[in-house]
C-alpha cells in the first residue's frame, strides 16, 4: 500500500500577520495621497476675516468767497493773480488767476507748434472795470456793437437787454473770476474765414484738452438765455465751475447793485438767465 505525500501548509500565524501588514501599508498610502482640497476640508480651524480697506476721504474744496465771484477785489494786489507777459497780449497791466495762466501757457505752446498764434485781448476785469464798460454803454458814451446809442432806449429793461447781448452787468461777469479770456478778435466774423477760422477750429478741437470751454455757444433750444455767441471767449473750467457753484448757491439778483440800471437785475433774473445761461458743456 503506497503512502500519500502530505502537503506542506503555511502556519496560520504567519499568513494573518502578513495580511495585516499589507493592509496597514495600503491604509497609510491612502491617507498620505489625500488632495489639498480634502486636507482643507478636514481643517476646521476658523480663520480671521481680512480687514476691509478704508479709503481716505477726498479733501473738501473750500467754496470760492463771494467777493471774488462779484469782482470786489484788486487783482494786481492779490497773490492768486499774475500779470500776463507782453508776448501773449497787446495790453498792459492785465491779469489772470495763476492756475488759468499756467493752463493757457500750455495751450499756447501746443497751438504754436501747429502754427496757431493765440493772443489775449481781455482777461480779469473786476467790478469797477466792468462798471466803467456798462455805464459807458448805459449813458450812450459808448455805442453798442451795431452802432446803437443805448441811452436813446427809454425803457430801462429794454436798454439793459440790448447791452446784455454782449456785455455783463457789474457783479455778474465771468471776467471777474480770472478764469476767462478773450482771444484774437472780438468779432465773430473774424473766426468764420481764413486765419480766424483756422484758430477757431484749433480751439474747438484742442482747447478742452487744456481745460478750456466756450461758454457762449450759439443760442438755441439748448441755450435759450444769456449772451449772444462769442467765439473769442474761452473759460478755464477747473476753476470756473467752482466760481459758478458759488454764484448758484449764494448770489441773488438783489445783490446786483452799485451801478446805473442795476434796479432791473431782479426783473431780468440775471443770475439765472445770464450767469447760468451758458453752454451746457461748460457747466
- Identify each DSSP E strand in 126-193 by its residue range: 180-183
Residue 132 within any structural domain of the chain:
no
pLDDT digits (tens, 9 = 90+) for 118-141: 999 999 999 999 999 999 999 999
Please give the average per-residue pLDDT across 263-268, as a whole number. 98
Please give the average per-residue pLDDT across 171-179, as a whole number. 98
Query: How far out from the chain centre does Cα 248 lie?
Result: 16
- Identify each DSSP E strand in the chain by its residue range: 81-83, 95-97, 120-122, 180-183, 212-213, 233-236
Residue 276 within any structural domain of the chain:
yes
- pLDDT score for 47: 58
Residue 235's nearest CA partner among 182, 169, 172, 165 is: 182
Residue 269 within any structural domain of the chain:
yes
- pLDDT score for 29: 46
CA angle 169, 218, 278 (to 5 degrees): 45
The boundaries of the domain holding residue 184 are 66-106+168-282
Residue 173's nearest CA partner among 233, 85, 111 is: 233
- The answer to whether the CB of 226 falls within 8 A of the CB of 168 is no
Residue 216 within any structural domain of the chain:
yes
255 Cβ neighbours under 8 A, 6+ residues apart: 70, 171
Lowest mean pLDDT: which of 28-42, 66-80, 99-113, 171-185? Answer: 28-42
39 vs 228, higher pLDDT: 228
Residue 24 within any structural domain of the chain:
no
Q: How far is CA 176 from CA 35, 95, 98, 99, 190, in A?
A: 74, 11, 14, 15, 25
Query: What CATH number is given to the structural domain containing 83?
Result: 3.30.1380
Residue 136 within any structural domain of the chain:
no
First vs last C-alpha separation in the chain? 127
The DSSP bridge partners found for residue 213 are 235
User: Percentage of residues in the chain with pLDDT exceeding 70?
Assistant: 79
pLDDT band at 48 (very low <50, low <70, confident <90, very high): low
Residue 48 within any structural domain of the chain:
no
Q: DSSP 3-state assignment of 90?
A: coil
- pLDDT score for 49: 62
How many residues does this entry show for the chain? 283
User: What total of structural domains would you count in the chain?
Assistant: 1
Please give the grid coordinates belonging to residue 173.
461777469
* Neighbouring C-alpha atoms within 13 Å toward the C-beta of 215: 26
pLDDT digits (tens, 9 = 90+) for 76-113: 999 999 999 999 999 999 999 999 999 999 999 999 99
- pLDDT score for 60: 74
- The answer to whether the CB of 94 falls within 8 A of the CB of 122 is yes
pLDDT band at 27 (very low <50, low <70, confident <90, very high): very low
Residue 85 within any structural domain of the chain:
yes
254 Cβ neighbours under 8 A, 6+ residues apart: 265, 266
Amino acid at each position: 500500500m503506497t503512502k500519500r505525500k502530505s502537503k506542506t501548509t503555511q502556519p496560520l500565524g504567519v499568513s494573518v500577520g502578513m495580511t495585516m501588514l499589507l493592509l496597514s501599508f495600503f491604509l497609510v498610502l491612502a491617507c498620505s495621497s489625500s488632495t489639498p482640497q480634502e486636507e482643507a476640508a478636514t481643517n476646521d480651524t476658523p480663520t480671521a476675516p481680512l480687514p476691509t480697506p478704508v479709503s481716505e476721504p477726498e479733501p473738501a474744496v473750500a467754496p470760492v468767497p463771494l467777493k471774488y465771484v462779484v469782482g470786489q477785489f484788486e487783482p494786481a494786489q492779490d497773490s492768486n493773480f499774475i500779470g500776463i507777459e507782453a508776448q501773449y497780449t497787446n495790453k498792459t497791466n492785465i491779469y489772470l488767476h495763476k492756475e488759468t495762466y499756467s493752463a493757457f501757457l500750455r495751450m499756447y505752446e501746443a497751438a504754436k507748434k501747429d502754427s496757431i498764434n493765440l493772443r489775449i485781448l481781455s482777461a480779469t476785469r473786476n467790478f469797477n472795470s466792468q462798471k466803467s464798460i456798462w455805464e459807458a454803454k448805459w449813458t450812450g458814451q459808448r455805442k453798442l456793437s451795431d452802432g446803437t446809442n443805448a441811452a436813446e432806449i427809454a425803457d430801462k429793461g429794454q436798454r439793459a437787454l440790448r447791452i446784455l447781448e454782449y456785455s455783463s452787468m457789474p457783479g455778474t461777469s465771468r471776467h471777474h473770476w480770472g478764469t476767462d479770456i478773450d482771444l484774437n478778435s472780438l468779432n465773430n466774423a473774424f473766426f468764420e474765414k481764413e486765419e480766424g477760422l483756422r484758430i477757431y477750429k484749433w480751439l474747438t478741437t484742442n482747447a478742452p484738452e487744456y481745460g478750456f470751454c466756450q461758454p457762449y455757444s450759439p443760442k438755441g433750444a439748448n441755450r435759450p438765455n444769456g449772451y449772444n455767441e462769442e467765439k473769442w471767449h474761452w473759460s478755464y473750467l477747473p476753476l470756473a465751475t467752482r466760481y459758478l457753484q458759488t454764484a448758484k448757491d449764494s448770489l441773488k439778483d438783489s445783490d446786483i447793485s452799485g451801478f446805473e440800471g442795476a434796479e432791473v437785475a431782479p426783473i431780468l433774473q440775471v443770475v439765472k438767465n445770464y450767469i447760468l445761461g451758458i453752454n451746457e458743456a461748460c457747466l
